[in-house]
Structure 1
Amino acid sequence: MTYFKFLLATALLLGFAACSPTPPPWHVVLISLDTTRADHLSCIAGPDSRAQTPALDLLASEGVLFLQAQTAAVTTLSAHSSLMTGTWPHSHGVVRNGFELNPVNQTLAETLGACGYRTRAVLGSFALDSRFGFDQGFEVFDETFDLLVGAGGADQNQRLAEHVTRAALSRVREHDQDEPLFLFAHYFDPHAPYDPPLALREAWAQQIGAAVGDPLTVERAVKAGQKLVLGPDVPAPGLAGTIRGGLSRELVEQHPGTSAVLDSQLAALYAAEVEALDAALGVLFEGLREEGLWERTIVVLTADHGETFSEHADRWNHGLWVHDTTTHVPLMIRLPAAHPQAERFRGQRISTVVSTVDVYPTLLGVLDIEVGSRVQGVDLGPLLRGEDFDRGAVFSEATQPWMGLEEAAHERGHWANSLKPHSVRKGRWKYIRAPYLKLEQLFDMEADPGEQNNLFQDPALAEILADLRGELGAYQELENPLPSEFNSTQLEETRVRLEAMGYGGGAREGPR
């Protein structure tokens, strides 16, 4: 029995998605960019883009670019779990970083592995470590990190983009190209601390000045912005305080949305990090060409979430709120020229609002693999073929604050994140509800893409508001999370490592 036939038989016995009757001819590379705002890709933001991303621009020009993709959750592990399972967080069960992905979930790696693919993963950060179950379905799971927590302000073990590319190409070179490959590559550089390579720091020297993007500097920027609302005599909670205890209505509703000099410097550091990431991706793409895989490989690229700067109350954060600064992510799919659908994909720019949960079923549709019954995302194939297609509402959820809200939700018999902010996008409209603050927001994303003008109390929009409330209510009625436990082993390891380097206190929560 051949390797492929053996796996096909195994897949059918285990109830996995049905595979094509013949071995799949296309390799698949799925790339995730951590903490990468869609508006920092020049193929999306255009000539006014803060960062220039020629490698990503070229990839987008060779495939289809989704201009309004939304992530399902705004922290790394929960967002990636949705990407890899095609399900919403209140189904896969991963509340936030540090929780374990239940093995009942069927991941994309498991599905493709059962259909004959050899599966490889190369990680950029500890947030997706195998102890959290994210290695499900991968034969090789490379979680070798060379930048350890505390080094340069790192809040978790990680590795630089150039090292992720080097490891990914090493996995490609050791692979037998006669067998289909599924490679997942996770890049982490834009995540704080904002510390671009020296060459890019020098290129951005005028905008960066003497600023550094370490946690203490970020905390100082957050508190300075909070003081603009709270006044000089009220203690500012800072980033750490809001992640634990949440924002106040005052901070959310009165936030000025302006940038101080330090905010602008941090934003320049972030943009330089994105450009460094783009350079590493260019090396990856060239390496795939040199190895002869480029014209046999489907490339899917997205991000887990973005990063708010000083635009909103969730300053220099992802996780606390669901503005587009954190929910709007890049998404592009590039097919090799020989693929029968390649010409249809090439150069498309699609403005329909879609979700990262749609990646799983859309990719399986391209590969002619049947989607399993648990998948909640939508196959975007009809949209790509130019057919009339209504994607329907798209949802995102916050994963912070932590203290008290998850316990209160459980006591009420609800999903752990149910009291945290949620959003629904439908056409030009975006509705946000934050139950723990008893706060609602409504934005016209065409007239106000920066989400500065809350239209919640506009009586002319009452019907639209009622419709979006209904959509979010129906979404939340679907909650049926698989069990997931918080893995606390990371906390003790972090405490020991920090104390060994002379830092006191230690960590009490997982990395954000």
Structure 2
Amino acid sequence: MPLQMSLLMLGTLAFSSVACTPDEVEDARPTPTGVPVQAIDHAGPKPHNILVIVIDTFRADRLGRGLTPKMDAFASEATVFNRAVTTIATTMPAHASMFTGLAPNRHGVRWNGDELADSNLTAVEILRDAGYETAAFVSKTRLLTQAGFHQGFSILSDPRNGRAPLNRSGEEITAMARDWICGEPRKPFFAWVHYNDVHSPYELNDFAKEQRGDYAGVLAEGATGKTLLANSQEIASSPEDMRMLNALYDGAVLGVDRQIGNLLDECPGDPILEDTIVILTSDHGQLLGEHRELLHGGKLWEQALRIPLIIRHPTARPGLTADERVGIADIAPTLIDLGGQNIPAGLQGRSIARAIFGEEIEERVYVSEVKREGADEEAALGPADLAVYDGHHKVIRKAGEVKIYDIANDAEEVQPIPTSQSQQLIERSQVLMDAYSQADTGAVSVKREELDPSTIDELRALGYIE
């Protein structure tokens, strides 16, 4: 691919939009966000409801392995995107990309202590202004109470700036969401349901206990994030520890799969979900000893960056697959598009709605980042380490070292391609990485929250801080 084409693709990634201009919007009405919307005609056909399910820390490779019968059944009725990636393997920045259609260098959320600034326009706000009733039921409550993702939602499982447990169980979130979805008839709804069950800490449930056998190591009774951080090198170097860690993770996957099944059961006497667009995805994955590493923060490996993305549309043909590369930042413009609204100019993501109906979408370059490790707080906001997805190649720049992988044939990233054979690809990716870093406009809008001691203790238990 010529270098000029790569730069054009980066420009498309960063600055283009498939939206029409405000002058082209017929019957648009002013809104609190200033973005014209197509107001829902409540006397006409009811638009489809939209339900977005996010399973925090869920690896795409767990689907189709006997661990997820409910999600596999759902996938058989939907379109499965086989090559979806996140912008960053960290919860809050990734969610910010999902809701804004922007990369972290534009929306400004670079780690789990940042708050999405009100100046960022979210897909939820656009749908709310168009007439959708909006609700969020979130297991990791800080996403609503402190991280800024309350924007656009009328109903919240936990109030803004209110006191709440750090996490709610999957069972509790499912019950809250179903009580609302299956309630009285209402105007079209948009709901976000978030599960944290696959994130550490990992309990020794029945599945993990059965898999444990005579194992008596550090993970024999489960694992907190603190345990994984403190013993990461030892666990990642021990086949038995890794086997047990995978058993704990898979046990959590089995549990959240049951919750997805319960959530998607039809409401008694009301087939409301038959008329609902359902999107199932994750914010990022998790390393379970691959590359001798654990967890996800600061990782650029496929186990951390690749995510599931499955979309079921009431009128689309079931059982489709899409093999073009897509990203988490594509979800926001897709939501806007599916909601019948015009996509604002300037989004880095693009609508992939056409793929739901079997149409091809263009291949694009995608960039994923991590914050700089070992730097002071302000310097850490700049992306020093990046991954560029370019066709079937992935170029990783980590701590100044560049490696290239053919992930179509080496999905586990075991054997890098000799750089001597890939000078053109390295040069092209270097230009893209430099352009990405130079386009960093979002950090100034971030408001960093102050964490109280109890919150710090809870975050330490989850493995976010040492």
The normalised TM-score by structure 2 is 0.84
Does residue 426 of structure 1 match 2:390?
yes
Figure out how many residues of one structure are paired with residues of the other and give that number: 429
Q: Which residue does the alignment assign to 1:88?
A: 103
Unaligned runs of 5+ in 2: 1-26
Q: CA deviation at 1:400?
A: 5.9
CA distance in 1 between counterparts of 2:173 and 2:214 reads 28
477, 492, 500: which one aligns with 2:438? 477
173, 176, 187: which one aligns with 1:164? 173
> Using a 3 Å threshold, how does the CA distance of structure 1 residues 207 and 296 change in structure 2: closer, same or farther?
farther
Does residue 131 of structure 1 match 2:146?
yes
Which runs of structure 2 are paired with 1:2-401 in the superposition (5 Å)? 9-11=29-31, 14-19=33-38, 22-23=41-42, 25-42=47-64, 49=65, 52-143=67-158, 157-174=166-183, 176-195=184-203, 198-206=205-213, 210-215=220-225, 217-219=227-229, 221-224=231-234, 259-288=238-267, 291-313=270-292, 315-336=293-314, 339=315, 342-343=316-317, 346-399=318-371, 401=373
The one-character-per-residue Cα deviations of 1:311-334 (angstroms, maximum 9, x if unpaired) are: 125x22211121111000000110
Residues 433 and 441, structure 1, Cα contact 8 Å, conserved in 2: yes
Q: CA deviation at 1:385?
A: 4.7
Q: CA deviation at 1:20?
A: 5.6
Q: CA deviation at 1:300?
A: 0.7
Further displaced range: 125-134 or 85-94: 125-134
Which runs of structure 2 are paired with 1:417-456 in the superposition (5 Å)? 417-419=382-384, 421-434=385-398, 437-455=399-417
Q: CA deviation at 1:259?
A: 4.7
Partner amino acid, structure 2, of 1:29: L
Residues 303 and 331, structure 1, Cα contact 8 Å, conserved in 2: yes
Residues 77 and 94, structure 1, Cα contact 8 Å, conserved in 2: yes
Residues 207 and 268, structure 1, Cα contact 8 Å, conserved in 2: no
Partner amino acid, structure 2, of 1:448: D
The one-character-per-residue Cα deviations of 1:252-280 (angstroms, maximum 9, x if unpaired) are: xxxxxx65211110111001101100001
CA distance in 1 between counterparts of 2:308 and 2:460 reads 35
Residues 287 and 295, structure 2, Cα contact 8 Å, conserved in 1: yes
Give SS of 1:270's match.
helix
The one-character-per-residue Cα deviations of 1:375-411 (angstroms, maximum 9, x if unpaired) are: 210112344455453231011112463x4254336xx
Q: CA deviation at 1:14?
A: 3.8
Q: Which structure shows the higher helix fraction?
A: 1
Q: Which residue does the alignment assign to 2:6?
A: none
The one-character-per-residue Cα deviations of 1:438-480 (angstroms, maximum 9, x if unpaired) are: 111111102211112122x432222222222223333333221
CA distance in 1 between counterparts of 2:440 and 2:68 reads 38
Partner amino acid, structure 2, of 1:407: E
The one-character-per-residue Cα deviations of 1:416-452 (angstroms, maximum 9, x if unpaired) are: 1322x21111211001112xx2111111102211112
> Using a 3 Å threshold, how does the CA distance of structure 1 residues 331 and 491 change in structure 2: closer, same or farther?
same
Give SS of 1:183's match.
strand
Residues 82 and 88, structure 1, Cα contact 8 Å, conserved in 2: yes
Residues 363 and 391, structure 2, Cα contact 8 Å, conserved in 1: no
C-alpha RMSD of the superposition: 2.8
441, 460, 463: which one aligns with 2:421? 460
CA distance in 1 between counterparts of 2:358 and 2:320 reads 10
Residues 208 and 269, structure 1, Cα contact 8 Å, conserved in 2: no
* Larger RCO, structure (CA 8 Å, separation 6 or more): 2
Partner amino acid, structure 1, of 2:300: V
Partner amino acid, structure 2, of 1:301: L
CA distance in 2 between counterparts of 1:208 and 1:123 reads 35
Residues 305 and 327, structure 1, Cα contact 8 Å, conserved in 2: yes
CA distance in 2 between counterparts of 1:64 and 1:207 reads 42
Residues 393 and 471, structure 1, Cα contact 8 Å, conserved in 2: no
Q: Which structure shows the higher strand fraction?
A: 2
> Using a 3 Å threshold, how does the CA distance of structure 1 residues 98 and 216 change in structure 2: closer, same or farther?
closer
> Using a 3 Å threshold, how does the CA distance of structure 1 residues 301 and 115 change in structure 2: closer, same or farther?
same
> Using a 3 Å threshold, how does the CA distance of structure 1 residues 132 and 274 change in structure 2: closer, same or farther?
same
Q: CA deviation at 1:178?
A: 3.4
Further displaced range: 52-61 or 366-375: 366-375
The normalised TM-score by structure 1 is 0.77
CA distance in 1 between counterparts of 2:320 and 2:166 reads 37
CA distance in 2 between counterparts of 1:25 and 1:361 reads 17
Unaligned runs of 5+ in 1: 1-6, 43-48, 150-155, 227-257, 410-415, 499-504
CA distance in 2 between counterparts of 1:472 and 1:97 reads 23
